[in-house]
Structure 1
């Protein structure tokens, strides 16, 4: 994955439906606050910071340290492993999960404090190198 250098504000202005656009603005504020970094576009993903990863299985590449994407059906928040957040997820509110994705259809319906904890914990773990089978090297 690579940064595309697009304008984040222009991208967000084009997000539809309008609710997802409002959620994107809120997510940018949350991730900016947690990471202390500015948002950058990685295609249709809004990322904060960047790192190089290498898994035990040998796959590697570049990725944002913290990221989300305002998809039509839901806001997708990228995590290290959703299973690592069991109790937090139980307290988050309505959502769905994938292996490393958290899907939120209504940001107003979830507990913003719990969402912040999930993002902050993953961010901290990447910076500290506490990520299990995958190593991350922060590149900016």
Structure 2
């Protein structure tokens, strides 16, 4: 079986965040780093070249495929901020209804400008996602 392409690295999160462009996306990325650190209590680690992750978990599927992946995190993309908070198992519609403008992917959330998002609700969503994930796979702090 193929390994995950996205793995934890030793790259500097600070260096990565300072290189994010444009400046408004960099500012939002720095804010998200604070929100994630506050919500998780964990230090960020780079996953691949462009994902900032907090915590990790080891999974083993019924198919036998297994691997390690970030427990939660984000990736500042040009068009939107991609937030990895939902393992895809639970319905977080109540929390999402209070968040502000967003779009959903299978296990990620797409956010535009953070000034339109309730950051306290985002913190609540991060914690709810971690609690849901922890019910299935043990999470390791970073």
Cα distance change, pair 87–25 in 1 and its aligned pair in 2 (3 A):
same
Q: Which runs of 5+ in 1 are unaligned?
A: 130-134
Q: What is the total number of aligned residue pairs between the two structures? A: 134
Q: Provide the rounded CA distance (Å) in 1 between the counterparts of 2:33 and 2:64.
A: 32
Match of 1:27 among 12, 32, 49: 32
Question: Which contiguous aligned blocks of 4+ residues in structure 1 show a shift greater than 3 angstroms?
Answer: 55-59
Higher normalized helix content (fraction of residues)? 1
> Does the alignment pair 1:16 with 2:21?
yes
> Does the alignment pair 1:101 with 2:108?
yes
Q: Which runs of 5+ in 2 are unaligned?
A: 1-5
Cα distance change, pair 53–3 in 1 and its aligned pair in 2 (3 A):
same
Measured after TM superposition, the shift of residue 36 of structure 1 is: 0.9
After superposition, what is the alpha-carbon deviation per residue over 1:78-127, rounded to whole angstroms, capped at 9, x for unaligned? 12128611121122111111110100011110111211111011112233
Preserved CA contact (<8 Å) 1:82 1:98? no
> Cα RMSD between the aligned structures?
1.7
Secondary structure of residue in 2 paired with 1:136: coil
Secondary structure of residue in 1 paired with 2:9: coil
Match of residue 53 from structure 1 = 59
Q: TM-score with structure 1 length normalisation?
A: 0.87
